Amino acid sequence: MIQIESVTKRYPDGTTAVDDLSLEIPDGSITVLVGPSGCGKTTTLRMINRMVEPTSGRILLDGSDITGQPVNALRRSMGYVIQNAGLFQHRTIVDNIATVPRMLGWDRRRARDRARELMARVGLDEALARRYPYQLSGGQQQRVGVARALAADPPVLLMDEPFSAVDPIVRKSLQGELLRIQQELGKTIVFVTHDIDEAIRIGDMIAVMRTGGRLAQFAPPTELLSSPADAFVEDFLGTDRGIRRLSFFSSDGLELSKGPLVAVDADAEQVARSAAAGAPYLLLTDAEGKPLGWVAAQDAAGGADKVAVGRLLPFGRPFAAGRESLRDALDCAVLSPTGWAVAVDGEGKAVGVVSQETIGAAIRSAHARHEGAGGTDRDDFTKAGAAT
Amino acid sequence: MSIFQFISDFFRDSAHWHGQSGIPHRTLEHLQYSFMALGIAAGIALPVGLVTGHTGRGGNALALIATAARALPSYGLLVLMFFWLGIGLTPVMIPLVALAVPPILVNSYEAMRTVEPSPVDAARGMGMGPVAVLFQVELPVALPLILSGLRSAAIQVVSTTAIAATVSLGGLGRFVIDGLYQRNYEIVVGGATLIAGLALAMIALFWLVERLTVSPGVRGGR
């Protein structure tokens, strides 16, 4: 555990970067420091590995003051990942990753073996081992940065805006990769970002900081979204925090109706039975059960085999039942021309459909459940789902 | 008589290949003076350039010194030093060192200035000490520019070392000075050719050093 106790950082010119900050960073989880530029989040991170020394207050690592430890030994026990990866351009990828093990006195072969192991862990092709940083894309370089930080298996990982310089698609995949690695390794990660969406996606705990280096709120993401401490936090979260909070509610409990599912070779009698269930639209599925599209119940009265597949209404994006969140389900329903979302299983086969009304009811009951539990717990499925 | 005739006559005359005033011995002398001057200049300019570049302080003063040193006329300085200090190696070394310092100084300063801050930050954050950061992170990346400063200095020094002959020392300048005195243009042209050849050899030498010492990751990244 990292304990930050009343830490202040004031520079000689009078600016206060961090002002009387106290935080308890729990072990084995991701704590995100987030806030606008100039809020002291990077300074706070850099005080943990003593790249910056606090003016007053103290930081404890597993109960002992970090100023009592030799500074380089302390830094070697903490992985450090920075914005542009900061790779050594004169060293190959494998030697970049092997940096800290080599500093710790491992022999070259062992350090390189370890580096190759980590390349696999962060999803880098082994063929890149002998390449140089300039031959890699920004996203690949950042993966190398993460692998390098993990090389000596430090219990703590400090990450300073590690994914800010890559494009949104690569950033999303790197976030997913980090969550997957974290599930396997369970490090104590302190992650700095200015992007609240990133904070909500990856953080177990989020510390929102405001300009002047003061802590505005320290809470798990669901609590942050449901009950922001003040107007600053609310404003920082943006206008759609209600919708975003749905990311933390599983679509597991959604009541799916199978009635409107009709196979493409169904005859008039089967169609009539489905239509009788009361749904205005029927979802046609192919021989394997994968969705094809929507058809109005009366247009299919003569049998599904008579319907021209080319004239079906598109079914949009389906959601993975149970694995994706209520936010995904709602999004699918909103995008669907019929107002009904299509739920599929892992193989893409339709398992049911659900209306906006049903999703709305599920949202209300999920809210009631979370308020009742104090609003602090969270469904851990989302992170698992996001990582896959 | 054509210049090429001079050159071929000079090199074909076996008398020019033997003894104290032969081509091998004079070339060796010339290289000795040159490398000595280069060594002294590097000993002064490299540490100063690397430290000022690393800290980023004193850049303006450095540029001023370099510009001033560049404006010094080597031959004038030699004559002055000769009358002051008399015959010897020192009056020759002073103008040659003054010639070699500016390119080494300016290039090593610039080389350190252009090292990106993020790998240095990453290295420090991983627990690398300041000496290791300098030798393992900054210098390997700064090396191409540092070498190019040394190369410019080497070419200039090798070309200018000829002036040593005017104050009774050896080196390839002897052929030029003695040839002029004796009105033997074959020797003058031959000596000049050797000096030019040596300057080209410096380019080749530094190309080789760069191939051997600069990482492909740094060469490719430019």
Domain residue spans in chain B? 3-220
For domain B3-220, the CATH superfamily is: MetI-like (1.10.3720.10)
Contacts of A149 in chain B (CB under 8 A): 126
The tokens describing B137, both together, are 């992170």
Please report whether residue A254 resides in a domain. Answer: no
What span, in angstroms and rounded, lies between the C-alpha atoms of A247 and A325? 5
A49 chain-B contacts, CB cut-off 8 A:
125
Same domain, A209 and A354: no
> Do A219 and A279 sit in the same domain of this protein?
no
The answer to whether residues A276 and A229 belong to one domain is no
* Residue A381 pLDDT greater than 50, yes or no: no
Please tell me whether residues A346 and A285 are part of one structural domain: yes
Q: The domain that contains A314 carries what CATH number?
A: 3.10.580.10
Give percent above pLDDT 70 in chain B: 99
User: Do A213 and A275 fall into the same domain?
Assistant: no
Interface test with B, best of A90, A128, A132, A160 (most B CBs within 10 A): A90
Q: Is residue A256 part of a domain?
A: no
pLDDT of residue A379: 45
> Domain with A120 in it: what CATH number?
3.40.50.300
Distance CA A96, CA A144 (A): 8
Do residue A207 and residue A324 come from a single domain?
Answer: no
Q: pTM of the prediction?
A: 0.79
* A387 domain residue, yes or no: no
- Same domain for A142 and A238, yes or no, is yes
Q: Is A61 on the interface with B (CB under 8 A)?
A: no
Would you say residue A386 has pLDDT above 60?
no
Instruction: Give the pLDDT score at A383.
Output: 45
Check residues B83 and A88 and name the one with the higher pLDDT.
Answer: A88
In terms of domains, do A243 and A348 share one? no
Q: Name which residue leads in pLDDT, A181 or A247.
A: A181
A106 and A215: one domain?
yes
Q: Is residue A336 part of a domain?
A: yes
Answer yes or no: is pLDDT of A248 > 60: yes
User: What is the percent of chain A with per-residue pLDDT over 90, rounded to a whole number?
Assistant: 53
- The residue among A24 and A242 whose pLDDT is bigger is A24
Alpha helices in A218-264 (DSSP H): 221-226, 231-237, 241-245
For residue B56, what are the CA distances in angstroms to B48, B102, B106? Answer: 11, 18, 13
pLDDT at position B139, please?
A: 94
Taking only Cα atoms into account, the Rg of chain B, rounded to an integer number of angstroms, comes to 21
pLDDT digits (tens, 9 = 90+) for A2-37: 999 999 999 999 899 999 999 999 999 999 999 998
CA distance A179 to chain B (A): 22
Q: Which residue segment(s) compose the domain that A291 sits in? A: 261-364
Let me know whether A331 and A191 are in one domain. no
Cβ within 8 Å, pair A86-B217: no
A244: helix, coil or strand? helix
As a whole number, mean pLDDT of residues A107-119 equals 95
